[in-house]
Amino acid sequence: MLRAFSHTNGRCAFHHSKCWHHRKSVLAIRREDVNAWERRAPLAPKHVKELTQMGYKVLVQPSNRRAIHEKDYIKAGGIIQEDISEASLIVGVKRPPEDKLIPKKNYAFFSHTIKAQEANMPLLDEILRQEIRLFDYEKMVDHKGMRVVAFGKWAGVAGMINILHGLGLRFLALGHHTPFMHIGMAHNYRNSSQAVQAVRDAGYEISLGLMPKSVGPLTFVFTGTGNVSKGAQEMFNALPCEFVEPHELKEVSRSGANFIFFLTSDLRKVYGTVLSRHHHLVRKRDGLYDPVDYDKHPELYTSRFSTDIAPYTTCLINGIYWEQHTPRLLSRQDAQKLLVPVRSAAGATEGCPELPHKLLAICDISADTGGSIEFMTECTTIDSPFCMYDADQHIIHDSVEGSGILMCSIDNLPAQLPIEATEYFGDMLFPYIEEMLLSEGSEPLESQNYSSIVRDAVIASNGSLTAKYEYIQKLRESREYAQSLKMGNKKRVLLLGSGYVSGPVLEYLTRDSNVDITVASVMKEQLEQLMKKYSNVTSVHIDVIKHEEKLSSLVKKHDLVISLLPYSAHPLVAKKCIDNKVNLVTASYLTPAMKELQESVEAAGITVISEMGLDPGLDHMLAMECIDKAKEVGATVVSYTSFCGGLPAPEHSDNPLRYKFSWSPQGVLLNTVQSATYLKNGEIINIPAGGALLDSVTPMDFFPGLNLEGFPNRDSTKYAEPYGIQTAHTLLRGTLRYKGYSKTMGGFVKLGLINPDPYPLLSSTTPPLTWKELMCKLVGIKLPAEYHVLKEAVFSKLEKDKSQLEAVEWLGLLGDEPVPAADSIVGALAKHMEMKLPFGTGERDMIVMRNEIGLRHPSGHLEDKFIDLVVYGDNKGYSAMAKTVGYPTAIAAKMVLDGEIDAKGMVIPLTKNVYGPILERVRAEGIVYSTRSVIKQ
């Protein structure tokens, strides 16, 4: 269609063989709908006005999110209209959803496909399928390779504002109030002028000497000399600043290690330096920099940034474009060296602390994950703009506190200043709009007389990648091949939970270097401890119950999930595993809620293993090993009794409960008010929920020295069929405790403390209660109450049981200690007991299990089998509970990964192919059981 073009007043004017005004060409500005913060547009009203004056029709999709109001587009001649199908050119800022693409149209937007970015390959595939012509702004470059259409300046401006705000927060976390605290995020300002004024105000305070002296001179390093860097420097110039050469940075950065060095630097200003390639890039073989040679062979060069510049940098503002085979600015190993604490400052005090290290923050405006900043592996967002990278643990956590480098790597920074960014971008794009507009996407690309800038930006046309971008397919194939190799070698496990049991699970699985593990937990400190101890393990700090979408995303990336969460969370986890066809292992009971998923699990073709811990778990395996051997010789089972308990070792049972916590405290408490059903001498015994279980306690004398008692646990009768012991007249599974435990727990039940119902007064949003106040409410006396009045009321509620009262007093439940915030009373009591009854340093726990199986042989004689398992915790290692739950779980997980367990559907360890290998392998971990028989005539 186009025959020639010329440049007039900085923009292209076109001459056509056909009179184009007989048919108006239509341009559409699409609505941005990929990100809630995306308020930009590719063209501003002034550009629309000029296009309409030239005779073009401009459609604007309605959007209340767009920062520039629709009335301004209408005033400029634009038409607000949802349907944009008549447009020949559709322009946007970010990618459209695949399902909103219109076939055989011209589209212009940032596609983020030129590096074969995996997330955007489905979009590219759809563009090819629908024969769309794609113009990518990122590839609109001049003869020097410089981009002519970009938001770069405004990315720099917004990024600089954000990192100054972040520095204020980071300094505060380190014990320093600074003028930066008065600078907000970029989007908090109506325009950049307001932001400049806020930065100037902070600068004025700096010029008055109000920066804490112990932080030393602040140095800012800007990489690159393009628009991104210039935009950041423009904002930086609003501070009292002095630019120095990179080689001078060392001198001016002398900081808190020795206050006399401040004589060489002025604390009433900040220092900046602009880094170009020649400042840090050198050829590996001779240490020289040759720009022509570097452009041809970047892989022959290395960067000295980590040794020559970074040690003297407070904040890095990174704006350079990075490509494969070019040197990185910083690697993980570099970060580890840079985060080594500085030596103690002579003048530093507790109230005026020194900085932990010089490099405090990185604003990676390039937002190139895994690029020039190797450890920037995930972009931050405007909602959550900052994270901390801890190089020692190689973890990223969402905070401004803790160890590490503050990171800000938002990939849509200009969206924070949307009006100015739109006008700036539109000015750059406008000269090229007309030639893109006056072509049909369905026409062959070869027939279009585009300028080189526009033609070279065409990624796809007429159903194919253009010649310049055919490499994208090769990149995809190469990456997919590499991923297939990695997937073939590496097995990925997601561990949910970081509590008591996680240690043995991780220890066992990390023995295989081909297993990569991600631990997801809400317990930040536990995660940090685990990361210090185990390699090839990464962590994610998240409450998976409250963030189901993130849970689903995590599950999708792994081959197997191990859930150590409370049993109530397992149905949710299982559903995510079903959706993503990922195997699951848990140590908890196969509950009715889990059983309901049986068909879905089978349809998904996955394995879901439950009851793979101690009780349930090892108890099943030990029982089935004995039962199966008995059946092999023709014997029948006439009785089965199994008791198990996790206890403190006798020497550490010195409290009213005779108990300490090595697993979920709330689970322990709730077990005492569960219902129970068992079979005794042919009669089914039902115990209702609510505490009656504690009245069914019997002494256990098989280890007389331990003074044990036991009570039934849940429904024992349901195991008759899966165990294959319908012939048994007695079937009982129970819990072991030291004598006195049940009586004490009975007192808590009487007082209403084992109540799982919601109790809003204990919410974190309400004023805190003391235990005294809560107990007054539970026993029905008015506040304020004297201690002796409350004690007498509680004593009466306990039916005058002195030992139960002593336990209540010992735990401080009549005092002024605050009740922990919780959803329920039992939840609060569990948190309180976890603090009051932990295992102390050097204390150990103990596991006791006794299975008694009565057999009748074909000869008629009877035999009693006694299977005993006693395991002690290690003083400086794992608890007995952690070992006996964690190792079986880990072994089962490894068996699934290795294909030893390949059954699909719901699995519990009742078959020899499962329990046999596990019982053999737990012996190697020190979990050893003994068996003896008594023959009766």
Walk across the sheet containing 537-541 and list its strands.
Answer: 537-541, 515-521, 491-496, 560-563, 583-586, 607-609, 905-907
Nearest CA to 115 out of 469, 411, 467 is that of 469
CA distance 917 to 428: 68
Q: What are phi and psi of 596, to 5 degrees?
A: -60, -20
Cα–chain-centroid distance for residue 278?
39
Classified as helix, coil or strand, 237 is: coil
CA distance 483 to 839: 45
Instruction: Fill in the DSSP letter of residue 149.
Output: S
Nearest CA to 606 out of 587, 579, 586 is that of 579
What is the sign, positive or negative, of the torsion defined by CA atoms of 755, 761, 762, 765?
A: positive
CA distance 412 to 417: 10
Strands 26-29, 89-91: parallel, antiparallel or unpaired by DSSP? parallel
Cβ contact 931:626 at 8 Å? yes
Q: Which two tokens stand for residue 375?
A: 């450890």
From 615, 628, 816, 864, active-site residue: 615
Cβ contact 414:151 at 8 Å? yes
CA distance 110 to 609: 45
Instruction: Fill in the DSSP letter of residue 628.
Output: H
CA distance 445 to 106: 11
CA distance 875 to 585: 28
Nearest CA to 59 out of 8, 102, 18 is that of 102
- 615 catalytic? Reply is yes
> In 14-82, where does DSSP find H-type helix?
45-53, 70-75
Q: What are phi and psi of 281, to 5 degrees?
A: -95, 130
Cβ contact 412:35 at 8 Å? yes
Strands 560-563, 845-856: parallel, antiparallel or unpaired by DSSP? unpaired
Q: What are phi and psi of 274, to 5 degrees?
A: -110, 125
Cis peptide before 616 (omega within 30 of 0): yes
> In 260-357, where does DSSP find H-type helix?
277-280, 291-296, 332-338
The CA-atom distances, in angstroms, between 579 and each of 80, 576, 676 are 40, 5, 34
> Nearest 5°: CA angle at 799, between 797 and 802?
105
Cα–chain-centroid distance for residue 238?
37
Q: Which two tokens stand for residue 283?
A: 């050829």
DSSP string covering 646-704: EEE-GGG--STTS--BSS-HHHHHHHTTS-EEEEETTEEEEE-SSSGGGGS-EEE-SSG
According to the 3-state scheme, what is the secondary structure of 559-590? Answer: CEEEECCCHHHHHHHHHHHHHHCCEEEECCCC
CB atoms closer than 10 angstroms to residue 595:
12
CA distance 233 to 238: 9
Residues in CB range of 350: below 8 A, 6 or more apart: none
Q: Which residues are catalytic?
A: 615
